[in-house]
């Protein structure tokens, strides 16, 4: 498979004959502050061995130009050796030294070496992001995870800059207007885990010390950094405090000392993902530096990501999957450990499992019901497959299944297995069997059947209670029915069944809990016979397994009358998740779900759950409600948001959440009048601080309604001429309900590749507002015509955003469904990853049609 892609077969063949002893990478980024400079100098020296002397191989490199290639002292002609994506070498010796001198490109897409100039002060910042395969945009390499090696980086940068990499710097030398930073060799790591961060970053420093069980003193220098213009908003003390709690926790659980020396955390601009676990130099999206008030859910989310990336230092960095088939070996574990660690590390976020049940698993359920779903251990044929498999299956379903595994084998056996796994495979690569062998050792259980059911099959089961009672209202039988859905896999589940009744104060509280194994299509709950029929039977109480839960008729009526009365936060979150799944599956009318939100969301104590309810209720109106009722549903949401905003405690997180929800739903003169009054200062909600981020949310509401003049938006940008301000200004322009605004946003993204990733995203978000479906309908036909061109011409990150973002998902009708089917039928040879994206969008559309049919009266 030539070109920018790399197949699993090619990687396996290359790994069968090659072993890498080390990389020396020299980068010269002194040109970075000059916006006219498109490239930087990259010189890579690779020492590697070959078990088949005389064989040919290739090195991966995506670069505009190669200056020279030297193999074992022999000069190769770059014109014939380099094809734009690979450097081909032949006549390999048993021991080889390859030197590739290239001009590599600065990135605008967040792939490779990304360059950003701060509009506030004109300062330039660089950082790298590679996963799964973009190190080859910065230096020549063998771009596959199982060819690990030590890396030695040397970086020449402007003299006023600092530079970081995975290891500590050993020497800094001045050379006129530049300084050269030489870093110590790393431990053996994979190419995608290497990192360089450079620029005039603001830095906060700290230190972590620990005495290990053998008496050894472990000293880890810590730092956290962000752009200078964000420094006034940077709460580094809280970030570093969470870091130290996490290091304590993971050392206690894993019994393997942190292996990478220092621990830097860089919050960087225009980042495509949440964070990346580069050993010793973790990178995060700078939106985690909160420049305006956010709810506590945002702080919890950031702390979760800090611990998620820290878990990767062991799961993923110390021990790495052999190929992307086993991506879950790091991501599922890190996702699980992020939530587990928030509680285990004794952070202030005690509701981590509530958030997991309500938000992370919603992502998994959605992904697992696509026709493109895949087992947790996936079949990853090539790098394009790998890019798309950073999804809800690999992260959230995998983490859910690990939570089930902990319940199945016991936490001590699970963590003892992790300890042995790290010690046995340190700095190596593994596959599923390597982990299962160790967990079988520690648990004494045969995990073959468990792994086959949970890791090697796709799909989500639905569990439904079946309750029969006698004339006196006592249970004669309680059974759990398991539906395999579209698949044929009935899985073993360890679950708790919660029985809930009202207490003297009217709250719904758990009166009994029965834990059991569900092993087939119908399992009888033995301990339930003779108990009084409860008001609510809640399957999977405590959220031990991964499944969709349903309700018997009486339990569902209890929730309709009093969902907000469920006292326990996790149980209530599970109930909310279940009724949302019923709505998405076309089993509950969207208007019934919206009625539940309007009636009970004001009682919701957990701020993260409340914000999820806002997102889901808006989605229910936009996608799942009968179009004839959609307008009324939207007005009901806006009225509810306004009512709850006025009722919320002044200055509270709930008040801020309702203010933002009002901005998302405002559609009438009363709502929009208040929005404008809040912006102008002529209206006031006691305790509500209309800070900069909230101002942009309010301006977006006015722009989408056609009530924000260009001059007003420009004036707001002038007051907030920052990276965030530019993004939100761009979104507001694209959100205006005019043909001209939509055409400009479409053209800016589709007709040019000059926009950075952040502004591509902003244009798409403003263009694709569901309320503007009449304006965007004209773009359905052009969308299907541009797909293959976009996929071939753009980087995969930008192509994915265009394909997913511009899909005509607001056109919920049979015609659009037919157009999607026609494209899929007419392009069987299109890139599999592209077809997958279109097929998933098409499935969302078909689901919305089914849900609308359910809601239609």
Task: Report, as residue numbers or ranges, the catalytic residues.
Answer: 309
Copy the structure tokens of residue 534.
């409860």
Strand-strand pairing, 263-268 and 217-226: parallel
Q: What is the DSSP secondary structure assignment for residue 561, as one 8-state letter?
A: H
Rounded Cα distance between 738 and 109, Å, is 28
* Residue 263, SS3 per DSSP: strand
Strand-strand pairing, 86-89 and 263-268: unpaired
Residues 6+ apart with CB under 8 A from 403: 336, 543, 544, 545, 546
Q: Supply the DSSP string of 601-655, one letter for each residue.
A: GGG---HHHHHHHHHHHHHIIIIIS-HHHHHHHHHHHHHHHHHHHHHSPTT-HHH
Rounded Cα distance between 463 and 354, Å, is 20
CA dist 622 → 29, 53, 611 (Å): 47, 63, 17
| Cβ–Cβ < 8 Å for 529, 490 | no
For 792-840, strand residue ranges (E) read none
| Cβ–Cβ < 8 Å for 361, 400 | yes
Burial class (CB in 10 A: 0-12, 13-18, 19+), 716: buried
Residue closest to 736 by CA, chosen among 727, 748, 745: 745
| Cβ–Cβ < 8 Å for 271, 290 | no
Residue closest to 501 by CA, chosen among 580, 554, 545: 554
| Cβ–Cβ < 8 Å for 851, 621 | no
Rounded Cα distance between 31 and 158, Å, is 8
CA dist 670 → 635, 689, 701, 772 (Å): 11, 20, 13, 21
Q: Which helix (H) or strand (E) holds 848?
A: helix 832-855
Largest Cα span, the chain: 93
Rounded Cα distance between 224 and 111, Å, is 22
CA dist 306 → 247, 285, 349 (Å): 11, 11, 13
| Cβ–Cβ < 8 Å for 30, 178 | yes
| Cβ–Cβ < 8 Å for 823, 784 | yes
Give the bridge partners for 96, in sequence order.
48
Provide the sign of the torsion angle of the four alpha carbons 808, 814, 815, 819, taken in this order.
positive
Rg of the chain over all Cα atoms, to the nearest angstrom: 28
Strand-strand pairing, 162-165 and 429-430: unpaired
| Cβ–Cβ < 8 Å for 387, 134 | no
| Cβ–Cβ < 8 Å for 254, 246 | no
Residue closest to 286 by CA, chosen among 208, 207, 351, 202: 202
Rounded Cα distance between 378 and 389, Å, is 8
What's phi and psi for 467, nearest 5 deg? Answer: -120, 130
Q: Which helix (H) or strand (E) holds 43?
A: strand 39-50
| Cβ–Cβ < 8 Å for 665, 637 | yes
CB count within 10 Å of CB 259 equals: 16
* Residue found under tokens 């972590």: 208
């Amino acid at each position: 498979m030539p070109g920018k892609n790399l197949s699993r077969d090619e990687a396996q063949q290359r790994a069968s004959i090659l072993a890498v002893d080390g990389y020396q990478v020299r980068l010269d980024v002194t040109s970075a502050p000059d916006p006219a400079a498109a490239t930087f100098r990259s010189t890579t020296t690779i020492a590697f061995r070959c078990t088949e002397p005389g064989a040919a191989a290739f090195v991966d490199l995506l670069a505009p130009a190669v200056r020279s290639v030297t193999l074992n002292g022999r000069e190769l002609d770059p014109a014939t050796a380099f094809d734009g994506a690979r450097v081909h070498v032949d006549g390999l010796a048993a021991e080889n030294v390859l030197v590739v001198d290239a001009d590599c490109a600065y990135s605008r897409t967040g792939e490779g070496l990304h360059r950003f100039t701060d509009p506030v002060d004109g300062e330039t910042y660089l950082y790298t992001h590679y996963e799964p395969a973009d190190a080859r945009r910065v230096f020549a390499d063998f771009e596959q995870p199982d060819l690990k090696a030590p890396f030695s980086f040397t970086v020449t940068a402007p003299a006023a800059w600092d530079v970081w990499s995975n290891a500590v710097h050993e020497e800094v030398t001045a050379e006129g207007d530049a300084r050269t930073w030489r870093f110590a060799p790393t431990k053996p790591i994979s190419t995608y885990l290497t990192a360089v961060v450079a620029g005039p970053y603001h830095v906060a420093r700290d230190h972590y010390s620990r005495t290990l069980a053998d008496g050894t003193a472990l000293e880890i220098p810590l730092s956290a950094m962000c752009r200078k213009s964000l420094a006034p908003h940077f709460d580094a003390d809280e970030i570093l405090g969470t870091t130290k709690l996490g290091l304590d926790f993971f050392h206690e659980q894993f019994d393997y000392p942190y292996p990478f020396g220092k621990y830097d955390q860089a919050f960087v601009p225009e980042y495509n993902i949440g964070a990346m676990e580069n050993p010793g130099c973790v990178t995060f999206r700078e939106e985690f530096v909160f420049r305006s008030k956010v709810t506590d859910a945002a702080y919890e989310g950031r702390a979760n990501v800090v611990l998620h990336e820290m878990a990767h230092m062991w799961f993923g960095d110390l021990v790495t999957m052999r190929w992307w088939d086993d991506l879950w070996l790091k991501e599922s574990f890190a996702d699980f450990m992020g939530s587990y660690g928030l509680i285990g590390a004794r952070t202030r976020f005690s509701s981590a499992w509530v958030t997991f049940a309500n938000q992370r698993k919603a992502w998994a359920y959605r992904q697992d019901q696509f026709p493109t779903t895949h087992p947790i251990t996936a079949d990853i044929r090539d790098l394009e497959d790998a890019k798309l498999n950073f999804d809800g299956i690999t992260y959230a379903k995998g983490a859910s299944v690990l939570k089930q595994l902990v319940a199945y084998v016991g936490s001590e056996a699970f963590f003892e297995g992790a300890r042995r796994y790290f010690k046995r495979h340190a700095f190596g690569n593994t596959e599923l069997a390597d982990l299962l062998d160790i967990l079988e050792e520690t648990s004494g259980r045969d995990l073959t059947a468990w792994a086959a059911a949970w890791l090697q099959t796709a799909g989500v089961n639905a569990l439904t209670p079946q309750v029969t009672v006698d004339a006196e209202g006592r249970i004669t039988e309680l059974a759990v029915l398991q539906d395999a859905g579209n698949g044929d896999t009935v899985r073993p589940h360890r679950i708790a069944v919660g029985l809930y009744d009202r207490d003297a104060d009217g709250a719904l509280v758990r009166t009994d809990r029965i834990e059991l194994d569900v092993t087939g299509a119908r399992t009888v709950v033995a301990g339930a016979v003779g108990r009084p029929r409860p008001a609510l039977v809640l399957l999977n109480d405590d959220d031990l397994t991964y499944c969709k839960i349903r309700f018997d008729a009486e339990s569902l009526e209890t929730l309709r009358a009093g969902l907000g009365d469920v006292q326990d936060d996790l149980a209530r979150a599970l109930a909310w998740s279940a009724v949302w799944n019923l709505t998405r599956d076309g089993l509950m009318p969207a208007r019934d779900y919206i009625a539940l939100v309007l009636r009970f969301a004001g009682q919701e104590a957990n701020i993260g759950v409340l914000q999820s309810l806002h997102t889901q209720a808006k989605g229910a109106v936009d996608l799942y409600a009968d179009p004839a009722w959609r307008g009324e549903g939207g007005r009901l949401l806006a009225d509810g948001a306004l009512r709850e905003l006025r009722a919320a405690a002044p200055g509270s997180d709930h008040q801020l959440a309702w203010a933002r929800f009002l901005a998302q739903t405002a559609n009438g003169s009363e709502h929009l009048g208040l929005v404008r009054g809040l912006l102008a200062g002529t209206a006031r909600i006691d305790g509500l601080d209309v800070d900069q981020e909230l101002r942009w949310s309010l301006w977006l509401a006015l722009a989408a309604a056609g009530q924000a003049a260009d001059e007003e938006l420009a004036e707001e940008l002038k007051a907030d001429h920052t990276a965030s301000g530019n993004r939100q200004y761009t979104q507001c322009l694209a959100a205006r309900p005019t043909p001209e605004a939509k055409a400009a946003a479409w053209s800016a993204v589709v007709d040019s590749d000059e926009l950075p990733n952040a502004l591509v995203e902003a244009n798409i978000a403003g263009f694709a507002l569901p309320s503007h479906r009449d304006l965007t309908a004209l773009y359905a036909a052009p969308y299907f015509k541009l797909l293959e061109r976009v996929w071939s011409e753009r980087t995969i990150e930008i192509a994915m955003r265009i394909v997913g973002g511009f899909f005509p998902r607001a056109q919920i009708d049979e015609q659009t469904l037919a157009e999607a089917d026609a494209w899929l039928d007419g392009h069987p040879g299109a890139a599999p990853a592209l077809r997958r994206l279109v097929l998933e969008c098409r499935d969302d559309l078909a689901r919305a049609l089914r849900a609308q049919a359910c809601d239609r009266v």
